[in-house]
Amino acid sequence: CAMSSLPSFDTENEPKIARSVEKFFKDYKVMELLRRCGLRKSEGIPLWSILSYIFSNVFPDRSMYMQQKYGKCTAGFSKNTYYRFMQNPH
């Protein structure tokens, strides 16, 4: 029996995952800590949007590349914004 390497996109649980990430960020004041450490974005997409997207992708084990490849990308920004942020979050 061959194992499939195609990702499964569980869109049913996405809102729950996003709410959990948002609650964690608020409960532990993640954004405040990041600002105090000097992590800021000077323009464009808000830092919160990018970070919540990145953290939400960790749990279903998927990447922006695979989401775009299969037409399931839910990010409200382009892959260039994502990769620029990953290269230099300042």
pLDDT for position 90:
61
d(CA 57, CA 52): 9
pLDDT for position 26:
92
For the chain, the structural domain boundaries read: 15-87
28-84: pLDDT as tens digits = 999 899 889 988 777 888 888 888 888 877 766 577 777 777 777 777 778 888 888
pLDDT for position 53:
80
pLDDT for position 4:
42
pLDDT for position 59:
67
pTM of full prediction above 0.75: no
Helix, strand, coil shares, percent, the chain, to 5 = 55, 0, 45
pLDDT for position 1:
39
